[in-house]
Amino acid sequence: MGRWEPNAAGRLREAAMDLYLEQGFEQTTVAEIAARAGLTARTFFRYFTDKREVLFGGAELLHERLVRALEDAPADATPIEAVAAALTAIAELLVDREFSGRRQQVIDANAELRERELIKMATLSAALTDGLRTRGVRDSDARLAGEAGIAVFRVAFDRWVRSKDDRMLAQVVNEALSQLRTLVAAS
Amino acid sequence: MGRWEPNAAGRLREAAMDLYLEQGFEQTTVAEIAARAGLTARTFFRYFTDKREVLFGGAELLHERLVRALEDAPADATPIEAVAAALTAIAELLVDREFSGRRQQVIDANAELRERELIKMATLSAALTDGLRTRGVRDSDARLAGEAGIAVFRVAFDRWVRSKDDRMLAQVVNEALSQLRTLVAAS
């Protein structure tokens, strides 16, 4: 049972994304994803609980890295420097721009998935706020830096998946943070 | 048919909020809301399409005011000054802090309502971005200012409903914008 399949999770992810884009997320079954990847539904369920988890399965890892980056930031880092470290850490997990872009197209095309993505972002924002509080940042700064940080991340992510050059997401995130500084200073 | 009832919409809103807090949003029926307000279900449906609209019916007005404030802001206002004008305009619609606070408690207690509120905020953020673009703000600044502006508004709103003093929401919003400026400058 269950012979080892090289890169089964990656193949399933690519097959799922192809099908979600071709025929819609709703219309796609786990059996079709497995067949497209040349694998069985049984193998699919070894990696994902359902077809939605193919899109959102990475959220826990993002959360862990974000929390750890806040813990590891220098004690004298300002709140925004700590936010920058946290956003850089999660940006470094997202290295496959083409895959991220296709995933985003799938999400944009489906109201339920867009809601799920909003919830995921709200959860990351709360984690950022909590992590800042743990660092001793006062509550009102922590909440504002957490919300603004995730706002910057969302904008940078969209920019990155649409960009044509070879910049890494982490770089785009840090540029967007600088841009926010310029914007809010100009008033 | 349909004799005029003084402040029927307001009485229905208060009755709905009482019941949502006492027994939960899911468990409350339109018939109960109308009865608590001393009105009929028929009257309820003259003002609201369903029990969820009691909570979200104001969204269109917020949207309209936001758009108009962006149109009316001075031509030489910076993007963030235009955002401040838009957020101030919508803040000025929210004058009943106790009602807003109770509404927020109802929403916080129900996952479906929290999602709905996230969508409402994402829609406002998109409207802010679009309105800035219409003012001639370049796309990348518009998106960032839109997302950051709504982040500030959310934080300020939470702060305001929890506050004990008599400040208006508009003031809390403008303080939060200044606070963001201080935060992002410190890096």
**Quick one: pLDDT band at residue B3, thresholds 50, 70, 90?**
low
Task: Name the A residues in 55-114 with CB < 8 Å from any B CB.
Answer: 78-81, 84, 114
What is the tens place of the pLDDT at every residue in B28-49? 999 999 999 999 999 999 999 9
Residue A4's region, left for phi above 0, alpha for psi from -120 to 50, else beta, is beta
Identity of the residue in B84, B114, B147 whose CB atom sits nearest the CB atom of A151: B147
Residue A187: predicted pLDDT? 66
B165-B183-A76-A179 Cα dihedral, nearest 10 degrees: 160
Smallest CA–CA distance, residue B79 to chain A, in Å, is 7
Q: CB distance from B177 to chain A under 8 Å? A: yes
Tokens found for residue A24: 């819609």
Residue A182: predicted pLDDT? 94
Q: CB distance from A6 to chain B under 8 Å? A: no
Q: Which residues of B touch A151 (CB under 8 A)?
A: 144, 147-148, 150-151
What is the tens place of the pLDDT at every residue in B94-151? 999 999 999 999 999 999 999 999 999 999 999 999 999 999 999 999 999 999 999 9
* Closest to B123 measured CA to CA, from A48, A114, A2: A114
What is the tens place of the pLDDT at every residue in A128-184? 999 999 999 999 999 999 999 999 999 999 999 999 888 999 999 999 999 999 999
Q: Which residues of B touch A147 (CB under 8 A)?
A: 151-152, 154-155
* Contact between chains at B151 and A151 (C-beta distance less than 8 A): yes
Owner of token pair 């009105």: B39
What's the ipTM? 0.87
pLDDT tops 50 at residue A41: yes
pLDDT tops 60 at residue B1: no
Smallest CA–CA distance, residue A7 to chain B, in Å, is 35
Q: Which residues of A touch B184 (CB under 8 A)?
A: 80, 148, 177, 180-181, 184
Residue A164: predicted pLDDT? 85
Q: CB distance from A183 to chain B under 8 Å? A: yes
What is the tens place of the pLDDT at every residue in A68-115? 999 999 999 999 999 999 999 999 999 999 999 999 999 999 999 999
